[in-house]
Structure 1
Amino acid sequence: MDLFTAWFNHFISYVYPSETNPVLLILDGQNTHTRNLNVILKAEKNYVTILSLPPHSSHKVQPLDKTVMEALKTFYNEEIRVFLRTNQRAVSLFDVGKLFGQAYVKVQSAERAIKGFATTGLYATSRSIFSNEDFLETAHQDENVAPATYSQPTILHQSLR
C-alpha cells in the first residue's frame, strides 16, 4: 500500500487535477488500490475519481492487451532471440530501442487493434463475452474478507463537483 500511495502522490504531482480539470483514474481491483484509505481520501481532496474494475477482469476489458501487447511480447522476444544468436553477446541498453522498434513494426496494424476490441466484446458490443462467473472473485488476497460478487465496476470515490 505504501508503494501505491507513493505512486499516487507522484501521479497527482504530474497530472495536476483541479476542480475545473478533474481526472478519472481507472484501476484494476487490486487490494492495494481499492482498500487504500489514504489514496481514496487524497483522491477526493484532489479532484480524482477512482474507478475500480471488477477483480480478475482486466484481461477481458483491455482490448490491446488481448491482441497487440500479447503479439508485441512474442515478436520482441523473437527479436531478442535472433539478436543473441546473431551477435553472440548480451542485449545492451543501447540495443533495446532498435529491437523493440523492429517488433513493433511487425505488430502495429489497425486490423489487430480492431480485433482486440471485438475479442473483448467492447465493440461491436457483445454481452456474451462475460459470464456470471467472470464477476465472482476467484482469488482472495485477504482471507478475512468474504468473497464478493460484482455486476458492474465499482466507483471508489465520486466527488460532487
Structure 2
Amino acid sequence: MVFPRKKFNPRMTDGAPHGTLEVVSDSGWMTRELFPSVVKHYIKQTSSTTLIILDNHESHLTIERITLAKENGVIILTLPPHTSNKLLPLDVSVFFSFKAFYNTALQTWLLDHAGIPVTIFDIARCVNYSFENR
C-alpha cells in the first residue's frame, strides 16, 4: 500500500471512504452548529431504524437534534459522563480489528514518509485503508 501526500490544497477528506462528510470547527470539537449536519448526513446514509450511541456532549443534546433523529427512525442513546470508554461494547467487538488495520496503515505511512510527521491531511487515507480491510 502506498499513501501519497497531496502537495497543493489538501483537504482532510482526501483519500477518505466514499461518502465521508467533512465538518470542521475552529476548536476541533463538535459544536451545536455542526452537529445537525452530521445527523442529517447519517440519516441520508442509512435506510432503516438505527441506534446512535453518543456521549452527552452539549452539542448532541438539543430538542431539535433529538426530534430530527426520531422523525427519521434514528434512536439516540446517550451515555453518562466519563463512561464511554467503559460502556461501548463496539470498542471490543468491532473497533478492535479496525484499530489493528489502522495501526498497520499508519506504520506503513510512517515507513513510506520517513522523518515526515503525520498531519490531519494524512489520516483519512489510513482510515480508508482500515475501513476497506476491517
TM-score of the pair, normalised by structure 2:
0.49
More contact order relative to length (CA 8 Å, sep ≥ 6): 2
Report the TM-score when normalising by structure 1.
0.42
- Structure (1 or 2) with the greater helix fraction: 1
